[in-house]
Amino acid sequence: MAKKHQILVIGHDEEGCTAEHERLAYETGAEIAKSGAILISGGLGGVMKAASHGAHDAGGLAVGIIPYDKASAANEYCDIVIPTGMGHARDFLTALSADGVIVIGGGSGTLTEVCASYVHKKPIAALKNSGDVATKYADQYLDHRNKVKIVGVDSPKEAVKYILEQITA
């Protein structure tokens, strides 16, 4: 049996997460599940919860890598919870656990995950109309090293398609 692809969805937690972010994240999680890939997230609220909910409702598998040491802190849609007790350092675990990354909105924590993914040359898709980190960094490189271009996309379906094309190429 071949290894399943793992796609990380990152963005705002409860603070800063809008109804539009939740809608986009839910659709992204559902698209990931429909593709047969596994959803990875930070396992908490906001975009993470909505993406997990979408994956769950579409019959997929949602993995939450949480910053706390108690699994009970994860959102209720995580099928597998990995409590790290590492705080924000867990952002590197989420990035390294994924084959590719989808960004929806996001603040400084999201940017940490984007940077970790960039350094490790993970393909990154940003929903360019979702605002904040996703919009700011869509269609560009983070620095002069040009490790991986953060590709701006218009929809969750396009984001998942792009990531899968990159990781199966």
Q: What does the alpha-carbon distance between residue 74 and residue 85 come to, in Å, rounded to a whole number?
A: 12
Q: What does the alpha-carbon distance between residue 42 and residue 132 come to, in Å, rounded to a whole number?
A: 18
Q: Is the CATH number 2.40.50.140 carried by domain 6-168? A: no
Residue 132 Cα distances to 61, 93, 129, 136, angstroms:
28, 23, 9, 6
Per-residue pLDDT reduced to its tens digit, 16-50? 999 999 999 999 999 999 999 999 999 999 999 99
Per-residue pLDDT reduced to its tens digit, 102-114? 999 999 999 999 9
Q: How confident is the model at residue 2 (pLDDT cuts 50, 70, 90)?
A: confident
The predicted pLDDT at position 135 comes to 97
13's CB contacts (< 8 A; 6+ apart) are 42, 44, 45, 46, 47, 48, 109
Per-residue pLDDT reduced to its tens digit, 60-99? 999 999 999 999 999 999 999 999 999 999 999 999 999 9
pLDDT at 1 over 80: no
Q: What does the alpha-carbon distance between residue 159 and residue 104 come to, in Å, rounded to a whole number?
A: 10
pLDDT at 125 over 80: yes
Q: Where are the domains of the chain?
A: 6-168
The predicted pLDDT at position 70 comes to 97
